């Protein structure tokens, strides 16, 4: 069973009586432990598709499934619970809370899950060590570089033991050195922990690292490339 699946998914945005199609009949299955990328130019529909797969938005038609459960028609509270317990998110703008330290940002997801304080503190420090950020555990986001903030965001994303991590243009604000380090980190987490990663990107660095690339154009998947077996 795929971790994530889209079946005949369409998305149409409406504003002032004008309909703008963003996705047109997308079928997609993401298997466990994949390291995959949705690639395409701006306006191709990749971020829209990622948002639908992450239960951040609802399709106009078609269905999205997480671990075989359809997300269509679920209450907002049920969708929030699924995001909290089964998904991790890494965003282009990092989305760390400015007034919290790195450790507190990582702890936040676990606090929402009801993890006791001592346990979540210990796990947050363990995760920050795993992403080479333990020495900055007490620093706030504005005291870190972009690459450091994104590493904290990755630690936060995997704190809940998610089934899948969705990363929307995670390297867009990073220089090539920081981007490469970040991608190497996520590759290691994928290989050692079996965490499923799905990116939306137009960054050649991300596409080169992906083992499967789905190319979108005008709201459709028009090509798929897979890394040759080693």
Give the domains, in start order, of the chain with CATH numbers.
Answer: 32-55+74-226 (3.40.50.300)
> Is residue 230's pLDDT more than 70?
no
CB atoms within 10 A of CB 98: 8
Q: Are 195 and 34 within 8 A, CB to CB?
A: no
% of the chain with per-residue pLDDT over 70: 99
Per-residue pLDDT of 129-161, as tens digits, reads 999 999 999 999 999 999 999 999 999 999 989
Specify the residue for token string 């991590």. Answer: 165
Per-residue pLDDT of 35-93, as tens digits, reads 999 999 989 999 999 999 999 999 999 999 999 999 999 999 999 999 999 999 999 88
Question: What is the sign, positive or negative, of the torsion defined by CA atoms of 1, 10, 173, 93?
Answer: negative
The candidate with the shortest Cα–Cα distance to 139, out of 96, 178, 100, 174, is 100
Q: Measured between alpha carbons, how far is 119 from 122 in angstroms, rounded to an integer?
A: 5
> Is residue 229's pLDDT more than 60?
no
> Is residue 106's pLDDT more than 60?
yes
Model pTM above 0.85: yes
Mean pLDDT over 211-230 rounds to: 89
What is the 3 state secondary structure string of the chain? CCCEEEEEEEEEEEECCEEEEEEEEEEEEECCCCEEEEECCCCCCHHHHHHHHCCCCCCCEEEEEECCEECCCCCHHHHHHHHHHHEEEECCCCCCCCCCCHHHHHHHHHHHCCCCHHHHHHHHHHHHHHCCCHHHCCCCHHHCCHHHHHHHHHHHHHCCCCCEEEEECCCCCCCHHHHHHHHHHHHHHHHHHCCEEEEEECCHHHHHHCCEEEEEECCEEEEEEECCCC
Per-residue pLDDT of 172-213, as tens digits, reads 999 999 999 999 999 999 999 999 999 999 999 999 999 999
Residue 145 pLDDT: 95
Residue 24 pLDDT: 96
């Amino acid at each position: 069973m795929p971790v994530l699946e889209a079946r005949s998914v369409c998305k149409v945005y409406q504003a002032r009586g004008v309909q703008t199609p963003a996705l047109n009949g997308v079928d997609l299955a993401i298997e466990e432990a994949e390291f995959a990328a949705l690639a395409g130019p701006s306006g191709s529909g990749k971020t829209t598709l990622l948002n639908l797969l992450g239960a951040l938005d609802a399709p106009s038609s078609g269905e999205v499934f997480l671990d075989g459960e359809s997300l269509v028609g679920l209450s907002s509270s049920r969708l929030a619970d699924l995001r909290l317990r089964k998904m991790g998110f890494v965003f282009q703008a990092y989305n760390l809370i400015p007034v919290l330290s790195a450790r507190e940002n990582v702890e936040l997801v676990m606090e929402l899950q009801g993890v006791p304080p001592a346990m979540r503190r210990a796990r947050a420090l363990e995760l920050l060590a795993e992403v080479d950020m333990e020495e900055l555990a007490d620093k706030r986001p504005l005291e870190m570089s972009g690459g450091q903030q994104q590493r904290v965001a990755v630690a936060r994303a995997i704190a809940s033991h998610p089934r899948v991590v969705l990363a929307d243009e995670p390297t867009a604000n990073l220089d090539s050195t920081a981007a490469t380090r970040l991608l190497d980190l996520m590759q290691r987490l994928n290989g050692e922990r079996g965490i499923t990663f799905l990116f939306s990107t137009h960054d050649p660095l991300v596409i080169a690292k992906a083992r499967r690339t789905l190319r979108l154009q005008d709201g459709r998947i028009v090509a798929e490339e897979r890394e040759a077996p080693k």
